[in-house]
Amino acid sequence: MTSYSRITGTGSYLPPRRVTNADLAAELATRGIETSDEWIVERTGIRARHFAAPGAKTSDLGVHAARRALESAGKQATQVDLIIVATTTPDMVFPSTAAIVQHKLGIAGCPVFDVQAVCSGFIYALTVADAMIRTGTARCALVIGAEIFSRILDFNDRTTCVLFGDGAGAVVLEASTAPGLLASDLHADGKYLDILCVPGHVAGGQVTGSPLVRMDGQAVFKLAVRVLGECAHAVLAKAGREGDDIDWLIPHQANIRIMESTARKLKLPPEKLVVTVHEHGNTSAASVPLAMDTAVRAGQVKRGDTVLLEGVGGGFTWGAVLLDF
């Protein structure tokens, strides 16, 4: 009998347009907004991000990442029996981006849905897919994080627009007699909704309120450092493992200072921290699978390694998944 789920393939995709801090600073200067490569690197670790072309859709990025994950797992799209897309920037209000991805992959029939947990979305989606596989509801799931976050950025607000980028990452999660995913730890607290949100909504054919990201950076920073430390220890305890067992920490890629603080709390040396924030910026729900695929393809994360994935984002939501790759 199947008791576990296991990642059998990873894939990712970045839109071709790479925007360095200097490029962005020059663009913002035309609006009378001052920023610099030095400020962005020192406060966040970000050096560049990718922005999608105007006509691109979140589902397009997700499909590219999904095809690469399927190829690395040696699977055909027709073998997929569940698709979950974690996104905050869906193609449409409805149907789900997962339904659009399914159609673009040329398949039909299997259950598909989106998960909205902002930057924790992939951790939530992976946990749901794992539960569905362990209960026999699915055997071969595509779990995707995909975002075109640049569409909801306020390019007149230098405190937020320099932080984010676009991209997608995906994994194929399959039923397995051996682990696989070892444990998961998810949390949320809606009282923090104001510190990180896009407050607008659609009503009467119009957007009411701002459709752009609003963030209290310092409040987010403090909360993120605390909860990422807590859920790392919680997921290790659930799995009966120690910090020493971790080969790789792949946290949400938002800010190098938050990531390094989490590694320090786990007493992990900096070499065990997977870092892509310098090249990707914060890609929200895409950041963890994008970083994971980058590390797998770079030969860092290898079969059998123990990997700690962590997410934190709007909601406030946070969580961790511990797995043997």
Q: Which residues bind ligand ACO (CB under 6 A)?
A: 35, 39, 43-44, 118-119, 158-159, 162, 196, 217-218, 220-221, 224, 254-255, 258, 282, 284, 312-314
Closest CB to ligand ACO among 131 and 212? 212
Confirm whether 255 is a catalytic residue: no
Contacts of 254 (CB under 8 A, 6+ apart): 44, 119, 163, 224, 277, 282, 287, 312
CA atoms of 61 and 275, how far apart (whole Å): 21
Angle between helices 21-29 and 37-44 (to 10 degrees): 130
Closest CB to ligand ACO among 162 and 236? 162
Catalytic residue among 21, 50, 64, 119: 119
Helix, strand or coil for residue 179?
coil
- Burial track 105-130 (b if 16+ CB lie within 10 A, e otherwise): bebeebebebbbbbbbbbbbbbbbbb
Least distance CB 312 / ligand ACO (angstroms): 6
DSSP 168: E
Least distance CB 313 / ligand ACO (angstroms): 4
Catalytic residue among 64, 140, 231, 252: 252
Residue matched to tokens 């390694």? 305
Confirm whether 231 is a catalytic residue: no
Closest CB to ligand ACO among 220 and 292? 220
Closest CB to ligand ACO among 287 and 306? 287
Confirm whether 119 is a catalytic residue: yes
Catalytic residue among 197, 231, 255, 282: 282
CA atoms of 251 and 225, how far apart (whole Å): 11
Least distance CB 321 / ligand ACO (angstroms): 17
Least distance CB 148 / ligand ACO (angstroms): 14
What are the catalytic residues? 119, 252, 282
